[in-house]
């Protein structure tokens, strides 16, 4: 297997990173580092194999896959690589902001400083002295990284550059392989996330019995009701219209000769997150085709509706069961009488 796979469209923000990583591999003496290229847009040897198969085959024979960010940090190739046995290499960015923290005697909430345009040094010192406050710097990482907890992922601080070397990948591969039994692959299933959402609606006591919190339940019902009332567009109809329009779209990436060749064009089918009009404009992704961003938003909307309905059904059934149990405990004679009358 190859050590690292790069299959990303060379956008202005990605090109310097991709070139830096390839240069690191070219300068390395490791045999595994030889011949690294960006395979986005390359034509396959076997013209009878479509781009999706070529893309999946390359992931399957790779230990790592570079996952540069686009508009956002998340991308399909992260999840595709884990499912197919490769390890995604992802950027990790640390953010910092400043806030003013006041003592309890000031009876003031901490103040987040979005910008210091109106806070020169003299004014800041005067404000801190007046309220006996302190200026603190708070650092944090991307919240979405929690989704990758307990999964085989390699994080790189900042953008990809000199620190991403073949030696690092060899070292980290052995380290991650040693933790294989710790990874929670159930996070790749929809059932895990449905149960995760349900956990916010239901409080579980020591006995493991779920009882919904009244306030959370009320807010959930209001949110779901608003969602159903405000969105009446048929997702099924939208998907049909999108599929019909896709027939007229150019589904092959134009080569250097100006002619499309759909029998071996290897497109970056994981580049759904860019929004720059280049990624996914070649051969359609195995997920949603060339109109990935639009269709994805509606598919996610439909899935959220489904999850909401499931949560409502689960909560109502549990509420009914608890109510019946309470009624039986409070008036067993009446309950027995009701059962006897039904007979």
Contact (CB, 8 A) for 128 and 100: yes
Nearest Cα to 67, choosing from 160, 165, 3, 161?
160
Q: What is the pLDDT of residue 246?
A: 44
The residues, ordered by sequence, that sit 6+ positions from 255 with a Cβ below 8 Å of its Cβ are 41, 43, 261, 265
In this prediction, residues 84-91 reach a mean pLDDT of 91
Segments making up each domain of the chain, as ranges: 2-92+152-183, 95-141, 203-265+274-335
pLDDT of 63 over the 80 cut: yes
The residues, ordered by sequence, that sit 6+ positions from 287 with a Cβ below 8 Å of its Cβ are 76, 269, 272, 296
pLDDT of 257 over the 50 cut: no
Q: What is the pLDDT of residue 226?
A: 52
Q: Rounded to an integer, what distance in angstroms lies between the CA atom of residue 46 and that of residue 198?
A: 47
Contact (CB, 8 A) for 78 and 91: no
In this prediction, residues 166-185 reach a mean pLDDT of 91
pLDDT of 195 over the 90 cut: no
Q: What share of the chain has pLDDT > 90, as a percent?
A: 13
Instruction: Tell me which long-range contacts 187-193 makes (C-beta under 8 A, separation of at least 24).
Output: 187/147, 187/150, 187/151, 188/79, 188/82, 188/83, 188/151, 190/303, 193/307
Q: What is the pLDDT of residue 33?
A: 82
Comparing 55-69, 96-110, 118-132, 317-331, the range with the smallest average pLDDT is 317-331
Comparing 101-115, 158-172, 249-263, 323-337, the range with the smallest average pLDDT is 249-263
Q: What is the pLDDT of residue 275?
A: 37
pLDDT of 135 over the 70 cut: yes
The dihedral region occupied by 6, where left means phi > 0, alpha psi between -120 and 50, and beta the remainder, is beta
Comparing 193-207, 214-228, 250-264, the range with the smallest average pLDDT is 250-264
Q: Extract the tokens encoding 160.
A: 């990809």
Look at 128 and 337; give whichever has higher pLDDT: 128
The residues, ordered by sequence, that sit 6+ positions from 148 with a Cβ below 8 Å of its Cβ are 78, 90
In this prediction, residues 227-252 reach a mean pLDDT of 44
pLDDT of 265 over the 70 cut: no
> Can you say whether the dihedral through the CA atoms of 38, 11, 288, 290 is positive or negative?
negative
Q: What is the pLDDT of residue 3?
A: 92
pLDDT tens digits, residue range 232-243?
Answer: 444 444 445 545
Look at 232 and 24; give whichever has higher pLDDT: 24
Nearest Cα to 18, choosing from 291, 268, 325, 312?
268
Q: What is the pLDDT of residue 32?
A: 80
Look at 334 and 18; give whichever has higher pLDDT: 18
Q: Inter-axis angle of helices 76-83 and 51-60, to 10 degrees?
A: 60
pLDDT tens digits, residue range 114-127?
Answer: 665 567 778 888 88
In this prediction, residues 98-118 reach a mean pLDDT of 80
pLDDT band at 217 (very low <50, low <70, confident <90, very high): low
Roughly how many angstroms between the first and final C-alpha of the chain, as a whole number? 70
pLDDT of 64 over the 90 cut: yes
Comparing 160-169, 286-295, 310-319, the range with the smallest average pLDDT is 286-295
Look at 21 and 215; give whichever has higher pLDDT: 21
Strand partners, 67: 90
pLDDT band at 281 (very low <50, low <70, confident <90, very high): very low
pLDDT tens digits, residue range 303-321?
Answer: 666 667 767 766 776 776 6
Strand partners, 91: 156
Q: What is the pLDDT of residue 52?
A: 83
pLDDT tens digits, residue range 27-59?
Answer: 888 888 888 889 888 766 566 667 888 888 999
Q: Extract the tokens encoding 91.
A: 């950027």
Cα torsion at 296, 4, 13, 69 (round to 10°)? 30
CB atoms within 10 A of CB 82: 21
In this prediction, residues 4-31 reach a mean pLDDT of 88
């Amino acid at each position: 297997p190859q050590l690292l796979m790069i299959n990303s469209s060379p956008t202005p923000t990605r090109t310097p990173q991709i070139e830096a990583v390839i240069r690191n591999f070219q300068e390395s003496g490791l045999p595994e580092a030889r011949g690294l290229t960006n395979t986005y847009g390359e034509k396959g040897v076997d013209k009878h194999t479509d781009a999706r198969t070529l893309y999946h085959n390359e992931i399957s024979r790779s230990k790592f896959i570079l996952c540069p960010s686009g508009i956002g940090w998340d991308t399909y190739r992260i999840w595709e690589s884990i499912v197919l046995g490769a390890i995604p290499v992802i950027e990790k960015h640390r953010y910092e902001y400043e806030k003013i923290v006041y003592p309890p005697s000031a009876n003031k909430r901490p103040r987040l400083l979005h910008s210091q345009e109106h806070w020169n040094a003299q004014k800041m010192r005067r404000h801190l002295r007046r309220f006996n406050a302190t200026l603190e710097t708070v650092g944090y990482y991307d919240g979405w990284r929690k989704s990758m907890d307990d999964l085989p992922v390699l994080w790189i601080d900042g953008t990809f550059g000199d620190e991403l070397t073949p030696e690092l990948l060899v070292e980290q591969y052995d380290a991650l392989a040693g933790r294989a039994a710790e990874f929670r692959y159930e996070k790749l299933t929809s059932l895990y996330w449905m149960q995760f959402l349900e956990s916010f609606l239901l409080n579980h006591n020591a006995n493991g019995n779920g009882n919904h919190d009244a306030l959370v339940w009320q807010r959930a019902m209001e949110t779901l009701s608003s969602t159903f009332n405000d969105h009446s567009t048929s997702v099924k109809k939208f998907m049909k219209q999108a599929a019909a329009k896709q027939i007229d779209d150019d589904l092959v990436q134009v080569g250097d000769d100006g002619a499309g060749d759909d029998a071996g064009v290897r497109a970056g089918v994981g580049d759904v997150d860019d929004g720059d009009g280049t990624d996914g404009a070649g051969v359609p992704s195995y997920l949603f085709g060339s109109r990935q961003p639009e269709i994805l938003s509606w598919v996610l909307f439909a899935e959220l509706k489904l999850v909401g309905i499931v949560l409502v059904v689960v909560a109502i059934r549990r509420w009914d069961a608890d109510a019946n149990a309470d009624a039986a405990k409070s008036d067993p004679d009446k309950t027995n009488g009701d059962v006897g009358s039904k007979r």
